[in-house]
């Protein structure tokens, strides 16, 4: 029994440190700034252990049963902590609160473990031997955990699976103790059942970790995957590396927080600043709320309708504190109406009594397949016409004119074939490359010379330059993107596949 | 003799399908509970009552100007055109509980879907008479530079077709994977050959292969093609490429329900060369389609007639009398007699001949088909090419499936209905028909699902509902000698006061032919009544 209890010290010490490391790592993945996250997590954790040690004195009866209960609880909460934090990332209003709450609970439980163990063992060893043995195993366990964590666990198991695995170790310690009790105790049966149940939960969690985020997927992205969700429409992934937050839809990069301001300022301001007092705005796509953030810089704006297919996108960007910070909470603007609908079908439904928008922003994924290609067709632009007045402006993100020159000009030419005048332009967005946009209008467009204060990228000079194209990106004749002949999809596929070889 | 690959593949459709999934694999994927659904469709039991005869004496149920027996496209066309011309006292007698014939369609909460014919090509240069109808129906919306502008909603969306070959999908139906340079050369030559046929005119100034077929040139050397099979013509013209033969065979089974080694070369070429339609706003090879297929056209034609269509009416006797024609039918309970000044027999000839022996035409044979509609909780996927409208599986006895939601511009419908087409060409029609009628719903489920799961393992567990329709006599079979032979020419003769209208009179079962015969019959009836 003594030896068993000393081995338990080693196991619980390892587990305890692993939970701390997992919490610290997840915090720095999810919230960035690893120095702050690690030091506050370690501080909170140690402090909570102190609370646990203090509280351990209140326990007097049946110390062994109590210790076993603590083990089962640590196993359950510590073991599922990573999965809980990951899954609740977009669900709770204050993620930080949840994080420190869980860390505190685990810390308290872990803090109770050693003092109780010392007291269980106090009659079997001399005091000096007891303290020396227990703390020796404690520190060896800590060393073991700190080496295992970065070298084996994170790269080969991932955080969620590691956490479930160490949870099962805690529970196994409890079960081992239960089964090695010589004299039968009345409380043993219930404890065995509880331990068994928790073991099943943790094993199930371990097996289904891949559903939460697969390790192979984590390895495909530059940063750490901090949010992953498969919706009926797409796979949404948010990654973070230091302060760079990135959104991927079906593995295609949608923005990097490092330079998205360039992309979104270039998308929004050449249109918004060219209008006298734009009131009624339509955004198609753009569920991240970033284009909206720029649009709301104009006080004349009264109503914004945002049509995004996937409710999971607008929910994510309106609930995660980290992402709300990025879009300055634009998705909670009282001026905003979110419509989770298919843009084509929604525009079609408006045909009977079409609202007129002063500005329309079409911020859709690139035309990489026939489904999304419909939203780049003459038929779609025909519907766009019906919600625009004579002075309205629309802008369409149109892939890279450098990488996919034909694709870019195909969007431009399709807009022209749909009866629009066009003003194509481009801006350098390092995460994407040299990126293209096309403004569609019913009257000739003039580049504005005045912009709102405080923009980081767009000013009169930058804006003017965006409308000139060097020879390697200049206009080319292309086919027109039609529903019955999606030329753009073929251009796009050909041009980008060539580019990605290098 | 060693069997060729083709013989092995088409030796028996059922065997080929069975081999697609070993029994073990089927056990692994077969649904735990049978997928809800049934064998629906053509009321063969009711129809077969005709053979037994012995109907109670009819009750006199009134007199009309014109009775039309059958409300497929030909019957609807006749009625629609008579009605438009002011002959409104008409009745259509329909065996089934719905009109539309081969253009029948269904619908559920997910989508409308076809049960038969599901597209029409752009109107050929000889189809001016159909243009007016298409304008009335909003299918043609205007004209630009002398060419019709078609309604964009009805022009087939891209991607139109893909082929499953060697475990992956490719765009288009001519195999491009694993074919030789010689194959490619023959593809090119064949397609150019068909393009040349498309515009070539005979000494009488008519196209060699026109739609409607009776507008074609009378040149003897072209008509002589009707005496060859398509396969033999191809071989004699130097087309030996196996994938090319597969492609042409597919086309023949698709449009006629007849294999290319059994079909008239004239008909086979007509499939490729007849459609010379052009449009201002789409490519010449485009087609028009709707989620419910040609059910769209059937509904439009039937709309003004709905109160004059008597469904569930088994006509068992049509007789000329001094006062006109009497038509006796049984409605399941009662026999009734209608009298009319003229009758249009718009039923297939094998039925018309049973009702009036003088219309009997033993040379007319019909291809049996099976169509299955599957409601899916998930869209089919596949590596290599995006989901298309028409999804063809190489070397399958079925023709593959058509996606009902394809024309809906929604970016990603989450559910859909797919329609599998299967012309039963592996045996002689009568034999195949008998075999099909003997199969249970479970048999069909096994056949179609093993075919589906072989190509789409991701759909296991995603099939919500499945219905199967047996068309015992789906299409007239243009076997060699039929199109320009005696029996068809004889069948074209009208014998007032009984007129005939059906696509089988053309030897090819397409909308334009059925509509044209209906229109012509309506015109002939009007002349007769006047």
Which of B511, B508, B406, B402 lies closest to B134 in space, CA to CA?
B511
User: Average pLDDT over chain B, rounded to whole?
Assistant: 92
Q: Is the pLDDT at B4 greater than 60, yes or no?
A: no
Spatial strand order of the sheet with A280-285 comes to A336-339, A303-307, A280-285, A357-363, A388-397, A433-441, A421-429
Contact present, B226 and B265 (Cβ < 8 Å): yes
Which of B42, B87, B125 lies closest to B366 in space, CA to CA?
B42
Residues of chain A with pLDDT under 50: 501-502
SS3 A423: strand
Enclosing H/E stretch for A433:
strand A433-441
Q: How far is A428 from chain B (nearest CA, A)?
A: 29
C-beta atoms surrounding A283 within 10 Å: 27
DSSP label of B348: -
Peptide bond into B19 cis (omega under 30): no
Q: How many residues does chain A have?
A: 502
**Binary contact (A485, B158; C-beta < 8 A):** yes
Task: Provide mean pLDDT across the span B102-119.
Answer: 96
- Token look-up 């027109």 returns A480
Beta strands in A267-385 (DSSP E): 280-285, 303-307, 336-339, 357-363
Instruction: Please tell me the predicted confidence (pLDDT) of residue B113.
Output: 98
Minimal Cβ distance to A485: which of B283, B386, B409: B283
pLDDT digits (tens, 9 = 90+) for B225-264: 999 999 999 999 999 999 999 999 999 999 999 999 999 9
Q: If you measure CA to CA, which chain A residue comes closest to B407?
A: A483
Beta strands in A257-346 (DSSP E): 280-285, 303-307, 336-339
Instruction: Please tell me the predicted confidence (pLDDT) of residue A257.
Output: 95
pLDDT digits (tens, 9 = 90+) for B459-498: 999 999 999 999 999 999 999 999 999 999 999 999 999 9
Considering only CB atoms, which residues of chain B are within 8 Å of chain A?
Answer: 152, 155-159, 281-283, 286, 386-387, 408-412, 414
d(CA B451, CA B459): 11
**Binary contact (A485, B386; C-beta < 8 A):** no
* B463-476 vs B39-40, strand pairing mode: parallel
Q: Is the pLDDT at B25 greater than 80, yes or no?
A: no
Phi/psi at B517 (5° precision) = -65, -35
ipTM of the complex: 0.83
Q: Which residues of B touch A483 (CB under 8 A)?
A: 152, 155, 157-158, 409
Which tokens go with B96?
A: 């089934």
Domains and CATH numbers, chain B: 5-30+366-476 (3.90.660.20), 45-105+292-361+479-529 (3.50.50.60), 165-278 (1.10.405)
d(CA A85, CA A95): 8
Q: How far is A231 from chain B (nearest CA, A)?
A: 11
Q: How far is A364 from chain B (nearest CA, A)?
A: 12
Instruction: Please tell me the predicted confidence (pLDDT) of residue A301.
Output: 97
Instruction: Please tell me the predicted confidence (pLDDT) of residue A400.
Output: 95
**Binary contact (B410, A233; C-beta < 8 A):** no
Domains and CATH numbers, chain A: 2-211 (1.20.1250), 218-253 (no CATH), 259-501 (3.40.50.150)
Residue B288, CA distances (Å) to A250, A353, A484, A490, B273 in order: 33, 28, 10, 23, 18
Q: Which residues of A touch B159 (CB under 8 A)?
A: 370, 486
- Of residues B414 and B521, the one with the higher pLDDT is B521
Instruction: Please tell me the predicted confidence (pLDDT) of residue B485.
Output: 95
Instruction: Please tell me the predicted confidence (pLDDT) of residue A404.
Output: 95
Task: Provide mean pLDDT across the span B116-133.
Answer: 96
C-beta atoms surrounding A124 within 10 Å: 11
Residue positions forming the annotated binding site of A for spermidine: 264, 288
pLDDT digits (tens, 9 = 90+) for B260-318: 999 999 999 999 999 999 999 999 999 999 999 999 999 999 999 989 999 999 999 99
Residue B383, CA distances (Å) to A249, B170, B171, B173, B466 in order: 19, 9, 11, 16, 25
> How buried is residue B59: exposed, middle or buried, by Cβ count under 10 Å (0-12/13-18/19+)?
exposed
Residue of B122, B160, B405, B411 for testing the chain A interface, max A β-carbons within 10 Å: B411
**Binary contact (A483, B158; C-beta < 8 A):** yes
pLDDT classification of B141: cutoffs 50, 70, 90:
very high
Instruction: Please tell me the predicted confidence (pLDDT) of residue A218.
Output: 65
Q: Which residues of A touch B384 (CB under 8 A)?
A: none
Choice among A138, A363, A366, A434 that is catalytic:
A363
**Binary contact (B411, A375; C-beta < 8 A):** yes
Q: Which residues contact A270 (CB under 8 A, 6 or more apart)?
A: A395, A425, A437, A439, A447, A448, A458, A463, A466
d(CA B364, CA B504): 8
Instruction: Please tell me the predicted confidence (pLDDT) of residue B50.
Output: 77
**Binary contact (B409, A380; C-beta < 8 A):** yes
- Buried-state track A139-153, b at ≥16 Cβ within 10 A, e below 16: eebbebbeebbeeeb
Minimal Cβ distance to B409: which of A309, A344, A486: A344
> How buried is residue A72: exposed, middle or buried, by Cβ count under 10 Å (0-12/13-18/19+)?
buried
pLDDT digits (tens, 9 = 90+) for B143-154: 999 999 999 999
Minimal Cβ distance to B411: which of A309, A378, A484: A309
Residue of B381, B409, B415, B458 for testing the chain A interface, max A β-carbons within 10 Å: B409
N- to C-terminal Cα separation, chain B: 65
Q: If you measure CA to CA, which chain B residue comes closest to A234?
A: B412
- Token look-up 């331990």 returns A195
pLDDT digits (tens, 9 = 90+) for A212-222: 766 656 666 77
Phi/psi at A364 (5° precision) = -105, 160
Which of B356, B360, B463, B475 lies closest to B420 in space, CA to CA?
B463
**Binary contact (B412, A233; C-beta < 8 A):** yes
- To the nearest whole percent, how much of chain B has pLDDT over 70? 95
């Amino acid at each position: 029994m003594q030896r068993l209890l000393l081995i338990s010290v080693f196991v619980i010490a390892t587990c305890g440190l692993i939970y701390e490391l997992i919490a610290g790592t997840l915090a720095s993945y999810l919230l960035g700034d690893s120095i702050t996250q690690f030091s506050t997590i370690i501080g909170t954790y140690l402090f909570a252990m102190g609370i646990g040690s203090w509280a351990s004195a209140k326990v007097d009866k049946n110390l062994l049963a109590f210790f076993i209960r603590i083990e089962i609880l640590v196993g359950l909460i510590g073991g599922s902590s990573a999965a809980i934090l990951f899954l609740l990332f977009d669900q709770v209003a204050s993620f930080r609160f949840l994080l420190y709450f869980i860390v505190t609970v685990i810390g308290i439980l872990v803090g109770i473990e050693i003092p109780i163990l010392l007291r269980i063992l106090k009659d079997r060893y001399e005091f000096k031997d007891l303290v020396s043995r227990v703390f020796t195993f404690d520190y060896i366990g800590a060393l073991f955990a700190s080496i295992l964590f970065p070298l084996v666990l994170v790269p080969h198991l991932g955080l969620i699976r590691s956490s479930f695995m160490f949870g099962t170790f805690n529970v196994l310690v409890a079960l081992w103790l239960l089964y090695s009790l010589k004299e039968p105790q009345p409380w043993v049966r219930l404890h065995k059942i509880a331990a068994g149940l928790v073991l099943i939960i943790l094993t199930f969690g371990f097996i289904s970790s891949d559903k939460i985020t697969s390790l192979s997927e984590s390895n495909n992205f530059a940063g750490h995957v901090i949010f992953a969700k498969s919706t009926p429409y797409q796979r949404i992934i948010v990654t973070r590396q230091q302060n760079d937050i990135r959104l991927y839809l079906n593995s295609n990069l949608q923005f990097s927080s490092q330079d998205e301001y360039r992309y979104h300022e270039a998308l929004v301001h050449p249109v918004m600043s060219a209008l006298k007092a734009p009131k009624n705005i339509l955004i198609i796509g753009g569920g991240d709320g970033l284009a909206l953030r720029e649009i709301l810089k104009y006080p004349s704006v009264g109503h914004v309708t945002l049509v995004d297919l996937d409710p999971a996108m607008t929910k994510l960007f309106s609930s995660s504190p980290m992402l709300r910070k990025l879009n300055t909470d634009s998705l909670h603007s009282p001026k905003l109406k979110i419509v989770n609908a298919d843009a084509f079908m929604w525009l079609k439904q408006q045909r009977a009594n079409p609202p007129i928008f002063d500005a329309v922003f079409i911020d859709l994924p690139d035309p990489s397949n026939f489904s999304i290609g419909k939203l780049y067709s003459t038929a779609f632009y025909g519907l766009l016409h019906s919600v625009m007045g004579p002075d309205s402006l629309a802008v369409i993100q149109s892939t890279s004119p450098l990488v996919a020159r034909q694709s870019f000009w195909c969007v431009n030419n399709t807009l022209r074939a749909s009866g629009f005048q066009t003003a194509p332009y481009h801006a350098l967005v390092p995460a994407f490359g040299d990126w293209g946009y096309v403004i569609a209008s019913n009257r000739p467009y003039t580049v504005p010379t005045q912009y709102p204060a405080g923009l980081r990228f767009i000013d009169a000079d930058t804006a003017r330059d965006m409308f000139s194209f060097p020879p390697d990106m200049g206009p080319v004749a292309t086919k027109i993107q039609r529903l019955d002949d999606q030329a753009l999809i073929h251009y796009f596929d050909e041009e980008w596949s060539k580019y990605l070889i290098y | 003799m060693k069997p060729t690959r083709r013989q092995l593949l088409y030796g028996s459709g059922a065997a080929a399908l069975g081999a697609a999934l070993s029994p073990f694999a089927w056990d692994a994927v077969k649904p735990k509970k049978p997928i809800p659904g049934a064998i629906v469709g053509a009321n063969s039991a009711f129809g077969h009552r005709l053979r037994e005869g012995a109907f109670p004496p009819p009750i006199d149920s009134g007199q009309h100007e014109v009775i039309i027996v059958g409300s497929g496209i030909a019957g609807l066309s006749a009625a629609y055109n008579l009605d438009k011309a002011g002959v409104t006292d008409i009745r259509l007698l329909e065996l089934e509980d719905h009109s539309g014939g081969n253009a029948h369609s269904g619908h559920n909460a997910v989508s409308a879907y076809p049960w038969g014919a599901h597209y029409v090509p752009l109107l050929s240069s000889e189809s001016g008479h159909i243009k007016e109808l298409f304008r009335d129906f909003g299918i043609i919306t205007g004209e630009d530079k002398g060419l019709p502008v078609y309604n964009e909603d009805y022009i087939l969306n891209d991607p139109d077709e893909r082929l499953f070959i060697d475990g992956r999908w490719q765009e288009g139906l001519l195999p491009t994977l694993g074919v030789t340079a010689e194959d490619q050369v023959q593809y090119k030559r064949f397609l150019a050959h068909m393009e040349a046929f498309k515009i070539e005119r005979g000494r009488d100034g008519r196209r060699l292969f026109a739609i409607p077929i009776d507008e074609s040139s009378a040149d003897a050397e072209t008509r002589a093609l009707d005496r060859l099979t398509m396969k033999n013509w191809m071989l004699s013209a130097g087309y030996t490429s196996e994938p090319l033969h597969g492609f042409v065979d597919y086309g023949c089974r698709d449009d006629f329900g007849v294999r290319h080694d059994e079909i008239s070369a004239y008909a086979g070429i007509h499939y490729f060369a007849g459609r010379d339609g052009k449009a201002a706003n789409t490519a010449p090879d485009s087609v028009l389609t709707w989620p419910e297929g040609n059910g769209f056209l059937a509904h439009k034609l039937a709309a003004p007639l709905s109160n004059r269509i008597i469904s569930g009416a088994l006509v068992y006797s049509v007789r000329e009398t001094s006062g006109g024609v009497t038509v006796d039918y049984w409605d399941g309970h009662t026999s009734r007699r209608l009298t009319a000044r003229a009758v249009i027999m718009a039923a297939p000839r094998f039925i018309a001949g049973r009702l009036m022996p003088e219309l009997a035409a033993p040379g007319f044979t019909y291809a049996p088909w099976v169509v299955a509609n599957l409601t899916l909780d998930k869209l089919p996927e596949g590596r290599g090419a995006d989901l298309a409208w028409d999804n063809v599986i190489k070397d399958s006895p079925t023709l593959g499936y058509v996606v009902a939601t394809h024309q809906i511009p929604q970016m990603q419908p989450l559910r859909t209905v797919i329609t599998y087409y299967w012309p039963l060409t592996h045996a002689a029609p009568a034999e195949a028909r008998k075999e099909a009628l003997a199969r249970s719903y479970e048999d069909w489920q096994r056949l179609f699902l093993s075919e589906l799961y072989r190509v789409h393992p991701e759909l296991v567990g995603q099939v919500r509902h499945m219905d199967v329709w047996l068309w015992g006599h789906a299409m007239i079979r243009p076997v060699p000698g039929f199109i320009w032979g005696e029996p068809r020419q004889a069948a074209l003769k009208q014998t007032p006061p009984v007129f005939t209208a059906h696509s089988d009179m053309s030897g090819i079962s397409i909308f334009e032919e059925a509509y044209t015969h209906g229109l012509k019959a309506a015109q002939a009836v009007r002349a007769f009544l006047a």
